[in-house]
Amino acid sequence: MDLRHLFVENLKFYRKKEGLSQIALAERCGASIGYIAEIEFGRKFPSIEMIEKIARSLRVDPYQFFKDERTDPDRENQETEELLQDLPDRVKRKITAQLLNAVSTDIDRILNPKPGGGS
């Protein structure tokens, strides 16, 4: 992934994490909503000074916009929690039960391997 695309993805992630709309971010940064939208669409790229303003507004260090965090467990957990929070409780319970069953089955398979069956 190129740095511009990585910047855009991280900007959107941190903006949403902070619970801000593009309008609110623009106000915090002293930029126009159109400019923030153009950045998020990848049509424009901000100056170093604007990156610093955006970072301060989102309460992150500027380098975090350029860090590939797709494999960061904390970020993956947060994204999963965000997806799950909008689900009905009965769906959450069903997913939890299925996950626990799958983990239990895997643990049982590891601890009690079948003779001659490999793992």
Is residue 7, in this structure, part of any structural domain at all?
Answer: yes
Per DSSP, helices labelled H in 1-119 are: 3-17, 22-29, 33-40, 48-58, 73-85, 89-111
The DSSP 8-state label assigned to residue 27 in this structure reads: H
Please, what's the b/e burial string for 38-71 (b: 16 or more CB within 10 A of its CB; e: otherwise)?
ebbeeeeebeeebbebbbebbebeeeebeeeeee
Question: Per-residue pLDDT tens for 65-85?
Answer: 998 876 666 666 677 777 778
In a domain, 92, yes or no: yes
Domain interval for residue 34: 3-66
Is the pTM higher than 0.75? Answer: no
Residues 62 and 86 in one domain: no
In the predicted structure, residue 58 carries a pLDDT above the cut 90: yes
Checking if the pLDDT of 95 tops 80, the result is yes
Cα–Cα dist 109/119, whole Å? 7
